[in-house]
C-alpha cells in the first residue's frame, strides 16, 4: 500500500543528497542547511550525534493547523554525512492526498464500469427484443388460438432461419388440426343426415307392420318395443343433428327477439302437458330483448323449461323468472346424484331415464356458448336452479 | 284419390304406398325428377309427395315446373335435410306442407288428408265419421248435432285419429303430432293416456260411440 509513497520519498531523498553534494564547496553550508531546514515544509534536516540511526520509513500523525485535525504522514528518515557532520534527513509526504486520489480513481472506475454495464444491458435488451419479436408474435397468436373459432395462424416474416422454421411448423400444425377438427364436425353432421333415411324406412316398416291384424300379442308387444327404440333413435339423431348444425354455424340469421314473448308461448304449450302431472308454473316475465337466431332461442328456452318439468315430481312447481337480462328457471327436486360439473356434458343423464336423450342440456349449453351467455346451475333449498345471463358482449355471435 | 310419390328410396316408397293405399288412395311412384315431370304433365294428382334429393337433381325444380304449368296439385315436401332454407324455398314455391325424415306414417297420412281436404273443398269442409262431425274451419266437433267442448289438444287428437281411421297409431306418433318438435317430455306422465281418457269420456257423455280402441302393446285405433 505504501509502495508508491515510499518510492516517491526515496527519490526525493536521493535527489536531495545528489544536490547537497554539489553544494559541498560552500563554506557556510552548515548554516544554509539550518535555514533550509526552517523554510522547507516537508523536509527536515537536523544535526545529530546518534550514529546508530538507520534509514527507515515510519507513519506519523501531524497536526494540520489549517484544518485543525491530525493527518497521517509517511516519513523517510535517513542519516546523512555532510562535510563530516552527521545529520538526520527526514522527508515526509501526506497520505491523505494519496487516499483521495485512490478514492477518486476508484470511483471514476466504478462509474465507468456501471455505465458500461447499463449500456450493455440496454443494448442487449433492445437487441433481443428485436430478435425475439417474431417469436413472441407467434407465441401470442398461439395463446389466443381456439380451434373452433380462429382461422389459421399468421406468423410474422423474419430473417431468422430458426424462427421461420418454427413459424412454418406451427402454422402447419394448427392448419392440420383445424382441418381434422372441421372434418370431424362435418362428419357428425353427415352421419346424422345419412341416418335419417334408414331411420325413416325402419319407422315406416314398423308403421305398416302394426296394421297387420293377424299379429298375436307377443308379436305386437315386440313391435311396440321396437317402435319405442326407434323413437329414441330418431330423437337422438335429431338432437345430434341440431348440435352439429350449431357447431357448423348454420344458424347465422339473427334478429331482435323478445325472450318474454317466446317464453310465454312455450310455457303455454307446455302447460297442457304439465298439468297432467299436476305441475304448475309460477312465472314472472319482463321483456328482455336479445339479438339472436329465433330458432336457437326457442330451443334454448324450451329445453330449459322441459328439463324443469321433467325433473319436477308430481304436483311440483316450476318457477320461471325473466328480468334484468337474467332468466332463472327452478324446480323442486332431490339433489343430483351426478356431479354437477358434468350436467351439461353430452350424454350425461341423471339416473337411467329411458326417455331422456342426455342431449337437452348439452344443447342449452352449446347455444349459450355460441352467443356468449353465461349459464349456471345451483342447488338451493331443495331447488334445482338454472340461471342464464343474457349479457352479450357483441350484438352478433363470434363465428 | 290419386297421390304421386316422388322418392328414390325404394323401401320407403313401398311402405308409403302400403300405408296410404289402405284408404281410398291410389299411389303412383316416380323415382327421378324427369319421370316425375312427365307424370305431372300427363295426369292430375290430388297430392304429390316430393323428396327434395333426387338422383337427377333437386326436387324444387319439379315444384317449379309444376307451378309454371299452373297445376293446382297439393304438394308435401319430404326431405332428410330439415334445413330452414329448403323449407322456406319450398313453401315460397307453393308447397302446401313440409315433412322431414324420419317421420311417422300416421303423420304423413294426416298431412296428406289435410292437403286433399283443403284442395277438394276449397277450405270449407267438414269431416264426418258416423255420428261425429268435425268442422275443420271452425274447429268445432258435433255429435248428433250436439256440439262437444274439447280442448285444443283433444281436438288435435281426435282429428289425427279420424284422419288415420282403421289404422293402428302408436303413442309416439300421437305424441310427436301433438307436441310438434318437443316430444321429449311426453313420456314422463302418461300424457297421451290421460288425454285419450278425457276425449273418450267427452264423446260418450255426448252420446257418441266408443270408437277409440286400445291395441295391446302398440297404441290406439279409431274404428267402428
Domain ranges of chain B: 2-121, 126-222
Nearest to B149 by CA among B80, B201, B108: B201
Q: What is the mean pLDDT of residues B86-113?
A: 89
A278 or B185: whose pLDDT is higher? Answer: A278
Half-sphere exposure in the Cβ direction for B67 (13 Å, CA): 14
Considering only CB atoms, which chain B residues are within 8 Å of A221? 216-217
The dotted CATH code for B2-121 is 3.40.50.2300
Q: What is the mean pLDDT of residues B108-120?
A: 88
Q: What share of chain B is helix, strand, coil (3-state, %, to 5)?
A: 40, 25, 35
**Residue B186 pLDDT exceeds 70:** no
| Residue entry with cell 325433473 | A311
pLDDT value at residue A318: 92
Q: What is the mean pLDDT of residues A205-227?
A: 91
Give the SS3 label for residue B37: helix
pLDDT value at residue B182: 58
DSSP type of residue A193: H
**Residue B189 pLDDT exceeds 60:** no
**Residue A151 pLDDT exceeds 80:** no
Nearest to B217 among A202, A224, A295 (CB): A224
What pLDDT, in 10s, does the model give residues A14-58? 888 888 888 878 778 788 888 888 888 888 888 887 777 788 888
pLDDT value at residue A399: 40
Nearest to B217 among A199, A202, A220 (CB): A220
**Residue A394 pLDDT exceeds 70:** no
pLDDT value at residue B117: 85
Query: Which cell numbers in the block locate residue A257?
Result: 327477439
pLDDT value at residue A316: 87
Pick from A190, A210, A301, A305 the residue to mutate for testing the B interface (most B CBs within 10 Å).
A210
How far away is chain A from the Cα of B126, in angstroms, using its nearest Cα? 26
**Residue A215 pLDDT exceeds 90:** no
Count CB-CB contacts under 10 A for residue A381.
7
Distance, in Å, from the CA atom of A346 to the CA atom of A46, rounded to the nearest integer, reads 112
Nearest to B184 among A202, A235, A241 (CB): A235
Nearest to B185 among A197, A204, A310 (CB): A310
User: Using 50, 70 and 90 to split pLDDT, how confident is the model at B208?
Assistant: confident
Nearest to B188 among A197, A205, A277 (CB): A277
Residues in chain B, total: 224
Q: What is the mean pLDDT of residues B154-159?
A: 92
- Residue A223: beta bridge partners? none
Distance, in Å, from the CA atom of A341 to the CA atom of B141, rounded to the nearest integer, reads 51
How far away is chain B from the Cα of A337, in angstroms, using its nearest Cα? 19
Distance, in Å, from the CA atom of B212 to the CA atom of B173, rounded to the nearest integer, reads 16
Yes or no, beta carbons of B12 and A204 under 8 Å apart? yes
pLDDT value at residue A297: 93
Q: What is the mean pLDDT of residues B9-32?
A: 89
Query: Which cell numbers in the block locate residue A302?
Result: 324450451
Considering only CB atoms, which chain A residues are within 8 Å of B81? 193
pLDDT value at residue A108: 95
Residue A225 near residue A343 (C-beta atoms within 8 A)? no
Share of chain A above pLDDT 90, in %: 27
A151 or A188: whose pLDDT is higher? Answer: A188
What pLDDT, in 10s, does the model give residues A192-201? 888 998 999 9
Count CB-CB contacts under 10 A for residue A10.
15
Provide DSSP, A271-300: HHHHGGGT-EEEEEE---EEEE-HHHHHHH
How far away is chain B from the Cα of A214, in angstroms, using its nearest Cα? 12
User: Using 50, 70 and 90 to split pLDDT, how confident is the model at A66?
Assistant: confident
**Residue A261 pLDDT exceeds 90:** yes
Considering only CB atoms, which chain B residues are within 8 Å of A306? 182, 184-185
pLDDT value at residue B181: 59
pLDDT value at residue B220: 92
pLDDT value at residue A270: 85
Average pLDDT, chain B: 87
Q: What is the mean pLDDT of residues A291-295?
A: 90
- Residue B76: beta bridge partners? B49, B97
**Residue A393 pLDDT exceeds 70:** no
Yes or no, beta carbons of A199 and B101 under 8 Å apart? yes
Share of chain A above pLDDT 70, in %: 96
Pick from A189, A202, A204 the residue to mutate for testing the B interface (most B CBs within 10 Å).
A204
Give the SS3 label for residue A61: strand
Yes or no, beta carbons of B182 and A302 under 8 Å apart? yes
pLDDT value at residue A397: 45
Q: What is the mean pLDDT of residues A126-133?
A: 88
**Residue B28 pLDDT exceeds 80:** yes
Pick from B101, B160, B220 the residue to mutate for testing the A interface (most A CBs within 10 Å).
B101
* Torsion sign, CA atoms B38, B44, B50, B52: positive
Considering only CB atoms, which chain A residues are within 8 Å of B153? 272
Distance, in Å, from the CA atom of B53 to the CA atom of B58, rounded to the nearest integer, reads 5
ipTM of the complex: 0.90
Q: What is the mean pLDDT of residues A159-174?
A: 86
pLDDT value at residue A353: 61
| Residue entry with cell 331447488 | A383
Distance, in Å, from the CA atom of B98 to the CA atom of B108, rounded to the nearest integer, reads 10
**Phi, psi (5° rounding) for residue A391?**
-95, 110
Kindly list the strands in the beta sheet with B132-135, ordered across the sheet, starting from the edge strand earlier in the chain: B126-129, B132-135, B140-143, B146-148
Q: Please classify residue A339 by burial: count the beta carbons closer than 10 Å to its beta carbon, then call 0-12 exposed, 13-18 middle and 19+ buried.
A: exposed
How far away is chain B from the Cα of A390, in angstroms, using its nearest Cα? 23
Q: What is the mean pLDDT of residues A276-286?
A: 89
Q: Between vectors from CA A48 to CA A42 and to CA A50, what angle results, nearest 5°?
A: 125
Give the helix/strand (H/E) hosting A383. Answer: strand A383-389
Considering only CB atoms, which chain A residues are within 8 Å of B167? 211
Query: Which cell numbers in the block locate residue A323?
Result: 328480468
Q: What is the mean pLDDT of residues A89-104?
A: 81
Residue A396 near residue A291 (C-beta atoms within 8 A)? yes
A356 or A321: whose pLDDT is higher? Answer: A321
Yes or no, beta carbons of A207 and B153 under 8 Å apart? no
What's CA A255's distance to the chain center, in Å? 37
A152 or A6: whose pLDDT is higher? Answer: A6
Average pLDDT, chain A: 85
DSSP type of residue B46: S
DSSP type of residue A324: T
Architecture of domain B126-222: Orthogonal Bundle (1.10)
Yes or no, beta carbons of B168 and A231 under 8 Å apart? no
Residue A201 near residue B12 (C-beta atoms within 8 A)? yes
Give the SS3 label for residue B223: coil
User: Using 50, 70 and 90 to split pLDDT, how confident is the model at A68?
Assistant: confident
What's CA B62's distance to the chain center, in Å? 21
Amino acid at each position: 500500500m505504501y509502495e508508491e509513497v515510499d518510492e516517491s520519498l526515496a527519490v526525493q531523498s536521493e535527489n536531495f543528497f545528489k544536490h547537497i553534494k554539489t553544494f559541498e564547496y560552500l563554506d557556510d553550508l552548515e548554516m544554509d542547511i539550518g535555514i533550509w531546514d526552517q523554510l522547507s515544509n516537508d523536509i527536515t534536516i537536523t544535526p545529530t550525534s546518534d550514529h546508530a540511526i538507520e534509514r527507515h520509513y515510519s507513519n506519523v500523525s501531524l497536526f494540520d493547523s489549517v484544518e485543525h485535525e491530525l493527518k497521517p504522514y509517511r516519513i523517510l528518515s535517513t542519516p546523512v554525512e555532510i562535510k563530516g557532520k552527521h545529520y538526520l534527513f527526514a522527508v515526509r509526504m501526506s497520505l491523505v492526498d494519496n487516499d483521495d486520489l485512490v478514492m477518486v480513481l476508484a470511483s471514476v472506475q466504478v462509474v465507468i464500469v456501471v455505465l458500461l454495464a447499463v449500456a450493455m444491458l440496454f443494448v442487449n435488451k433492445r437487441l433481443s427484443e428485436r430478435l425475439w419479436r417474431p417469436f413472441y408474435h407467434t407465441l401470442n397468436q398461439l395463446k389466443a388460438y381456439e380451434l373452433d373459432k380462429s382461422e389459421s395462424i399468421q406468423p410474422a416474416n423474419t430473417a431468422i432461419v430458426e424462427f421461420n422454421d418454427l413459424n412454418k411448423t406451427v402454422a402447419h400444425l394448427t392448419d392440420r388440426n383445424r382441418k381434422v377438427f372441421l372434418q370431424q364436425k362435418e362428419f357428425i353432421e353427415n352421419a346424422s343426415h345419412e341416418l335419417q333415411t334408414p331411420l325413416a324406412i325402419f319407422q315406416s316398416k314398423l308403421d305398416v307392420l302394426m296394421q297387420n291384424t293377424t299379429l298375436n300379442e307377443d308379436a305386437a308387444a315386440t313391435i311396440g318395443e321396437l317402435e319405442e327404440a326407434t323413437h329414441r333413435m330418431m330423437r337422438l339423431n335429431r338432437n345430434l343433428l341440431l348440435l352439429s348444425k350449431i357447431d357448423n354455424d348454420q344458424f347465422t340469421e339473427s334478429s331482435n327477439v323478445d325472450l318474454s314473448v317466446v317464453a310465454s308461448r312455450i310455457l303455454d304449450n307446455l302447460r297442457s302437458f304439465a298439468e297432467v302431472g299436476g305441475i304448475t308454473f309460477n312465472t314472472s316475465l319482463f321483456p328482455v330483448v336479445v339479438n339472436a337466431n329465433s330458432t336457437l332461442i326457442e330451443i334454448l328456452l324450451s329445453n330449459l323449461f322441459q328439463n324443469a318439468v321433467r325433473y319436477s315430481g308430481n304436483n311440483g312447481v316450476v318457477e320461471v323468472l325473466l328480468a334484468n337480462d337474467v332468466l332463472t328457471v327452478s324446480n323442486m327436486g332431490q339433489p343430483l346424484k351426478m356431479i354437477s360439473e358434468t350436467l351439461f356434458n353430452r350424454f350425461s343423464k341423471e339416473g337411467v331415464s329411458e326417455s331422456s336423450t342426455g342431449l337437452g342440456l348439452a344443447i342449452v349449453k352449446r347455444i349459450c356458448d355460441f352467443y356468449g351467455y353465461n349459464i349456471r346451475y345451483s342447488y338451493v333449498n331443495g331447488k334445482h336452479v338454472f340461471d342464464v345471463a343474457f349479457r352479450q358482449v357483441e350484438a352478433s355471435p363470434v363465428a | 284419390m290419386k297421390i304421386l310419390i316422388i322418392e328414390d328410396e325404394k323401401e320407403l316408397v313401398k311402405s308409403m304406398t302400403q300405408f296410404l293405399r289402405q284408404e281410398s288412395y291410389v299411389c303412383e311412384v316416380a323415382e327421378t325428377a324427369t319421370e316425375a315431370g312427365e307424370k305431372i304433365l300427363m295426369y292430375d294428382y290430388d297430392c304429390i309427395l316430393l323428396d327434395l334429393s333426387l338422383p337427377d337433381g333437386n326436387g324444387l325444380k319439379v315444384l317449379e315446373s309444376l307451378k309454371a304449368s299452373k297445376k293446382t296439385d297439393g304438394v308435401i315436401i319430404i326431405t332428410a335435410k330439415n334445413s330452414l332454407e329448403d323449407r322456406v324455398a319450398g313453401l315460397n314455391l307453393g308447397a302446401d306442407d313440409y315433412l322431414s325424415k324420419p317421420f311417422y306414417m300416421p303423420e304423413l297420412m294426416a298431412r296428406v288428408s289435410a292437403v286433399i281436404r283443403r284442395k277438394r273443398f276449397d277450405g270449407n269442409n267438414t269431416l264426418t265419421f258416423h255420428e261425429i262431425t268435425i268442422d275443420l274451419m271452425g274447429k268445432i266437433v258435433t255429435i248428433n248435432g250436439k256440439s262437444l267442448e274439447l280442448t285444443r289438444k283433444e281436438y288435435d287428437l281426435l282429428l289425427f285419429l279420424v284422419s288415420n281411421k282403421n289404422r293402428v297409431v302408436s303413442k309416439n306418433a300421437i305424441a310427436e303430432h301433438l307436441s310438434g318438435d318437443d316430444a321429449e317430455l311426453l313420456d314422463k306422465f302418461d300424457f297421451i293416456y290421460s288425454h285419450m281418457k278425457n276425449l273418450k269420456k267427452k264423446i260418450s257423455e255426448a252420446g257418441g260411440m266408443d270408437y277409440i280402441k286400445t291395441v295391446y302393446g302398440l297404441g290406439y285405433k279409431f274404428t267402428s
